[in-house]
């Protein structure tokens, strides 16, 4: 049985936490196994509507989230349609109101700057009410501080915070980061992960090699 066939709520009696992959129906939102979202304000099943914003089909942009991510309540992903064209002499989105101005409907997407997909790696922790902007890639193992606004890419196993989000520190020495990126424990079979949880949680990197 695959994760997609399993229950939505991973904890008995907890309706605030969901396996995100199991509640997503939008094909442009791709979520890996065991990634969880917690929401104590809104229904976590409504993640696509409440947390993935300005994500319109006309732009063909995607939200890609890896495996074993932890996404805290109120985290938001702001897509390209939230932008306005900065090279224009006006920030007013004329192409959106094509009927009013006699413009071509096929040019609607010219109303904003298109910075691309949002890509979140594996084992990423996104803190309370953090905001991730369009075009950002967050590397494996990174941590995004509460209410941070992430405007630029985040390297693997890096902690960032603030507005705009800035580097705070690396989580581990470079050699440990390199090993983690090489072994990719999140891609192991469930049984192997279960056998190594103690080593993962206690930081025994040598036992994972």
Catalytic residue (one of 76, 84, 110, 147): 84
Average pLDDT, the chain: 95
pLDDT tens, residue by residue, 77-110: 999 999 999 989 999 999 999 999 999 999 999 9
Tell me the three state secondary structure of residue 204: coil
Query: Which residues partner with 37 through β-bridges?
Result: 18, 71
Taking alpha carbons only, the member of 20, 14, 46 closest to residue 33 is: 20
Helices (H), 27-122: 47-51, 98-101
Instruction: Mark whether 74 and 160 lie in a shared domain.
Output: yes
Instruction: Mark whether 64 and 135 lie in a shared domain.
Output: yes
Taking alpha carbons only, the member of 137, 143, 152 closest to residue 123 is: 143
Largest Cα–Cα separation, the chain: 66
pLDDT tens, residue by residue, 151-192: 999 999 999 999 999 999 999 999 999 999 999 999 999 999
**CATH number of 155's domain:** 2.160.10.10
DSSP per residue, 89-132: S--S-GGGGHHHHT--GGGGGGGS-----EEE-SS-EE-TT-EE
Instruction: Mark whether 146 and 58 lie in a shared domain.
Output: yes
Residue 60: active-site member? no
Instruction: Mark whether 201 and 110 lie in a shared domain.
Output: no
Instruction: Mark whether 142 and 193 lie in a shared domain.
Output: no
pLDDT confidence tier of residue 2, bands split at 50, 70 and 90: low
Instruction: Mark whether 195 and 167 lie in a shared domain.
Output: no
Lowest mean pLDDT among 18-22, 25-29, 105-109, 123-127: 105-109
Answer yes or no: pTM beyond 0.85.
yes
**d(C-alpha 6, C-alpha 98), whole Å:** 45
Domain range for 123 is 3-171
Any idea what the Cα angle at residue 10 is, between residues 160 and 138, rounded to 5°?
A: 20
Instruction: Mark whether 43 and 74 lie in a shared domain.
Output: yes
**d(C-alpha 63, C-alpha 65), whole Å:** 7
Residue with the larger pLDDT of the pair 87 and 17: 17
Check residue 70 and give its pLDDT.
Answer: 98
């Amino acid at each position: 049985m695959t994760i997609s066939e399993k229950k939505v709520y991973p904890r008995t009696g907890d309706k605030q936490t969901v396996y995100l992959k199991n509640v997503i129906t939008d094909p442009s939102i791709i979520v890996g196994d065991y990634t969880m979202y917690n929401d104590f304000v809104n229904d976590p099943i409504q993640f696509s509507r409440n947390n993935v914003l300005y994500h319109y089909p006309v732009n063909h942009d995607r939200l890609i989230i890896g495996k074993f991510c932890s996404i805290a309540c109120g985290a938001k992903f702001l897509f390209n349609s939230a932008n306005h064209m900065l090279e224009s002499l006006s920030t007013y989105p004329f192409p959106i109101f094509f009927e009013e101005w006699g413009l071509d409907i096929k040019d609607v997407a010219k109303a904003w700057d298109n910075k691309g997909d949002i890509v979140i790696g594996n084992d990423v922790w996104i803190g309370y009410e953090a905001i991730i902007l369009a075009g950002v890639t967050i590397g494996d193992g990174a941590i995004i501080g509460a209410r941070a606004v992430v405007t630029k890419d985040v390297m693997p196993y890096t902690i960032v915070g603030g507005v705009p989000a800035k580097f705070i520190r690396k989580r581990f020495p470079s050699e440990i980061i390199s090993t983690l990126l090489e072994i990719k424990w999140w891609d192991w079979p469930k049984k192997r992960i279960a056998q190594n949880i103690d080593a993962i949680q206690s930081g025994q990197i040598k036992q994972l090699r």
